[in-house]
DNA sequence: CAGTTTTCTTAAACTACTTTATTTTTCCGC
DNA sequence: GCGGAAAAATAAAGTAGTTTAAGAAAACTG
């Protein structure tokens, strides 16, 4: 899980009172974790963003496309995944409110993506394209610092997940996911969670019944 | 493999003619991938670094310690690894010349590390401590950009490795490692490579004999 | 270069996870 | 609230990778 949510409680309060927060309030709070923006800078940044949305089951991105945007989810839940050569689905991350997502490799290198991004719920997000992303660093150099910190946190999470994938059993990984991302776990299906954990839904089901018998 | 080597050929030329390059030339070339430093800035940066070395089989870092430094390898090869609760070794990365390494999570959060760093060959490196790391961004803000880019590349590599770990068989991961990091592969033992791939040395040996029979 | 330690190989028994198939339960679009 | 589709549970047979053990090859150390 790359995106590094600012704060679970912020997200929970949003759940109960979504209309009070605009999508921009959420993204500014996210950015304020690492840098402070002046009112002018906020306006400029806002002008670099585009609003997007997708209904449940709609695709936000398809493999083969050159990734145009990085996404910041303001409502709903996106699933980022790919298919291996046997057609088996592998989920790279779930992005809920306050998470950044996209295909970073494709966005950075402008090579075709190998990922699908699909909305699991009716979703809304803010998007920044490659030109604006580059421009951002020219206009507001502080953003170098923001992204340096964002990527730093993401890396720590990825390193952890890589090592877990190698060192732990599926059951252990499942338990860790439940305790670390409970608010994600109860929004997604077991099938999708299995695809994130790297196991079959049948085996996840077995794990669950084994665990409940203890 | 996190560190993102600038250039294999640079490294190869170093192998043949090490005395001509100082460790600082190497790190400045590494940094020049993303930002340009003035002579003054180079001097200042140099003053933030410390030189270190370790003989073959010596430990550079032990678990339990709070990580003091990030390391840039200028000679030799370091192995970053941890032990799981069964005492099985899991290699997180090999760092050769021109690679950055360390325990980023521990360095950033100043929590005790869970990693060993051990020299596989007589090695030399440059180190930056946490205070100087923070200071660096105050004194030379350009470094935000450098690290933003460095972390970006590392993330792309990590995302790739995570997905490979889940989607591919051990044999496929072995072949990919060989073609992607041939210069690392022939400097390390099969035992260490197996611990990187997440399999037993016995199984790697089996894979190799299976492959050679084709 | 001899002795010792470590690494590598091979092979048989074992385990975590997959595959395939069937049944039951949940969900969501009308 | 109903009908159809998707998800979840259960179970049996199969496979990728582990474990244990023992011998052969390589590689440090004195």
Question: What domains sit in chain B, N to C, each tagged with a CATH number?
Answer: 8-141 (2.60.120.10)
Burial of A195 (0-12, 13-18, 19+ CB in 10 A): buried
The closest CB to that of A162, out of B109, B141, B161, belongs to: B161
Q: In what order do the strands lie in the sheet with A89-96?
A: A59-61, A116-119, A77-83, A89-96
CB B100 within 8 A of CB B70: yes
Task: Kindly state the average pLDDT of the residues B132-155.
Answer: 96
Answer whether A163 sits within 8 Å of B92, measured CB to CB. Answer: yes
Is the predicted pLDDT of residue B14 greater than 90, yes or no? no
Top residue of B91, B149, B167 to mutate, by most chain A CBs within 10 Å, is B167
Nearest-Cα residue of chain A relative to residue B89 = A167
Q: Is B156 on the interface with A (CB under 8 A)?
A: yes
**H, E, C per residue of A141-192:** CHHHHHHHHHHHHHHHHHHHHHHHHHHCCHHHHHHHHHHHCHHHHCCCCHHH
Answer whether A156 sits within 8 Å of B90, measured CB to CB. Answer: no
CB B120 within 8 A of CB B77: yes
Is the predicted pLDDT of residue A115 greater than 90, yes or no? yes
H-helix or E-strand containing A69? strand A69-75
Cα–Cα distance, A82 to B196 (Å, whole number) = 24
Least trusted range by pLDDT, from A97-106, A193-202, B80-89 = B80-89
pLDDT band at residue B86 under the 50/70/90 scheme: confident
Q: Residues 64-103 of A near strand D (Cβ < 7 Å)? A: none
Task: Kindly state the average pLDDT of the residues A109-126.
Answer: 96
Residue A17 pLDDT = 43
Q: Which nucleotide is nearest to B191 (CA to C1')?
A: C7
Q: What would the pLDDT profile of B31-84 be if each residue is shown by its tens digit?
A: 999 999 999 999 999 999 999 999 999 999 999 999 999 999 999 999 999 998
Q: What would the pLDDT profile of A60-71 be if each residue is shown by its tens digit?
A: 999 999 999 999
Residue A181 pLDDT = 95
Residue B10 pLDDT = 35
Residue B73 pLDDT = 97
First to last CA, chain A: 29
Residue A86 pLDDT = 86
Cβ-proximal residues to B95 (8 Å cutoff; 6+ apart), any chain: B3, B71, B73, B77, B78, B79, B80, B101
Q: What would the pLDDT profile of A34-83 be if each residue is shown by its tens digit?
A: 999 999 999 999 999 999 999 999 999 999 999 999 999 999 999 999 99
From chain A, pick out residues whose CB is under 8 angstroms from the CB of B169: none
Proximity of residue A200 CB to strand D below 7 A: no
Residue B91 CA from chain centroid, whole number: 11
Residue A15 pLDDT = 45
- Please name every residue paired with A127 in a beta bridge, in sequence order, or none if there are none: A50, A71
Task: Kindly state the average pLDDT of the residues A21-28.
Answer: 89
Is the predicted pLDDT of residue A3 greater than 60, yes or no? no
Residue B48 pLDDT = 98
Residue B6 pLDDT = 39
Answer whether B198 sits within 8 Å of A166, measured CB to CB. Answer: yes
**Residue A87, both tokens:** 């057609």
Is the predicted pLDDT of residue A10 greater than 90, yes or no? no
Which residues sit close to strand C, CB under 7 Å? A 56-57, 86, 88, 169-171, 198-200, 202-203, 206; B 189-191, 201-202, 204-206, 208-209
Residue B3 pLDDT = 40
Which residues in chain A (8-47) have CB-CB distances under 8 A to chain B? none
Task: Kindly state the average pLDDT of the residues A189-204.
Answer: 97
Is the predicted pLDDT of residue A136 greater than 60, yes or no? yes
Residue A21 pLDDT = 66
Name the region of A76 (left: φ>0; alpha: ψ -120 to 50; beta: rest).
left
pLDDT band at residue B1 under the 50/70/90 scheme: very low
**Which single residue has its CA nearest the C1' atom of nucleotide C15?**
A169
Is the predicted pLDDT of residue B21 greater than 80, yes or no? no
Q: Residues 78-137 of B near strand D (Cβ < 7 Å)? A: 86, 88
- Please name every residue paired with A66 in a beta bridge, in sequence order, or none if there are none: A112
**Residue B3, both tokens:** 């560190």
Residue A14 pLDDT = 40
Task: Kindly state the average pLDDT of the residues A99-104.
Answer: 96
Task: Kindly state the average pLDDT of the residues B185-198.
Answer: 96
From chain B, pick out residues whose CB is under 8 angstroms from the CB of A148: 144-145, 147-148, 151
Q: Is A137 on the interface with B (CB under 8 A)?
A: yes
Q: Is A172 on the interface with B (CB under 8 A)?
A: no
Is the predicted pLDDT of residue B19 greater than 90, yes or no? no
Residue A6 pLDDT = 39
Look at the alpha carbons of B12, B16, B20, B24 in this order and tell me if their dihedral is positive or negative: positive
pLDDT band at residue B22 under the 50/70/90 scheme: confident
Cα–Cα distance, B17 to B23 (Å, whole number) = 13
Answer whether A152 sits within 8 Å of B147, measured CB to CB. Answer: yes
Proximity of residue B35 CB to strand D below 7 A: no
Burial of B201 (0-12, 13-18, 19+ CB in 10 A): middle
Alpha helix ranges (H) inside chain B? 8-16, 23-31, 39-48, 104-109, 130-139, 142-167, 170-180, 182-185, 190-197, 201-212
Please count the residues of chain A: 214
CB B213 within 8 A of CB B108: no
For residues A7, A12, A14, A16, the Cα torsion angle rounded to the nearest 10 degrees is -170
Q: Is A84 on the interface with B (CB under 8 A)?
A: yes
What's the gap in Å between the CA of A18 and the closest CA on chain B?
32
């Amino acid at each position: 899980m790359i995106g590094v949510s600012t704060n679970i409680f912020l997200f929970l309060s949003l759940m109960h009172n979504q209309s009070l927060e605009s999508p921009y309030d959420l993204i500014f709070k996210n950015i304020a974790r690492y840098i402070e923006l002046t009112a002018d800078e906020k306006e400029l940044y806002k002008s670099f963003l585009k609003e997007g949305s997708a209904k449940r089951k709609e695709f936000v991105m398809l493999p083969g496309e050159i990734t145009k945007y990085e996404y910041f989810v303001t409502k709903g839940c996106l699933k980022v995944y790919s298919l291996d050569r046997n057609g088996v689905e592998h989920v790279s991350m779930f992005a809920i409110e306050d998470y950044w997502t996209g295909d970073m490799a494709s966005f950075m290198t402008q090579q075709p993506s190998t990922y699908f991004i699909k909305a699991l719920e009716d979703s809304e997000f803010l998007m920044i394209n490659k030109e604006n992303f580059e421009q951002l660093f020219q206009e507001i150099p502080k953003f170098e610092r923001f992204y340096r910190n964002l990527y730093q946190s993401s890396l720590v999470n990825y390193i952890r997940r890589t090592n877990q994938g190698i060192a732990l059993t599926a059951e252990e990984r499942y338990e860790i996911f439940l305790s670390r991302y409970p608010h994600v776990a109860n929004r997604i299906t077991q099938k999708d969670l299995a695809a994130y954990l790297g196991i079959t839904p049948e085996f996840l089901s077995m794990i669950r019944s084994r665990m409940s018998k203890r």
